[in-house]
Amino acid sequence: AQSVTQLDSHVSVSEGTPVLLRCNYSSSYSPSLFWYVQHPNKGLQLLLKYTSAATLVKGINGFEAEFKKSETSFHLTKPSAHMSDAAEYFCVVSDGKVKAAGNKLTFGGGTRVLVKP
């Protein structure tokens, strides 16, 4: 079984300051981990993914995340927030067991990011 816990339901930052979104996961197998972003009334966009290569993963728009197996964490960071970063962010786990077609994604509850000018 797999699960994801996003430790903060809301995060508020000032423009130009760092952003940290925390995520802990549980998985029976070596997991694949993702961060998706959802802007209001929009679909989900993939920010970055970890699939057992480098533990520090760089994504789009300056975001990066570090996979820490010992802590079962996959926190998302960005050095300097921009107004356009205001959105809902989802940490997602998929177990690494290869199946014929793919694996279901298990989403965390989401973290809503507010960026203040």
Partner 1 sequence: ETGVTQSPTHLIKTRGQQVTLRCSSQSGHNTVSWYQQALGQGPQFIFQYYREEENGRGNFPPRFSGLQFPNYSSELNVNALELDDSALYLCASSPGLAGGPGSYNEQFFGPGTRLTVL
Among 40, 53, 70, 117, binds partner 1 (CB under 8 A): 53
Binding-residue pattern over the window 6 to 45 for partner 1, x denoting contact by CB under 8 A: --------------------------x-x-x-----xxxx
Asked if 108 interacts with partner 1 (CB under 8 A), we say: yes
Among 25, 63, 74, 90, binds partner 1 (CB under 8 A): 90
Residues 6+ apart with CB under 8 A from 117: 14, 15, 83
Torsion sign (Cα): 70, 17, 51, 42 = positive
**Helix or strand or coil: residue 5?**
strand
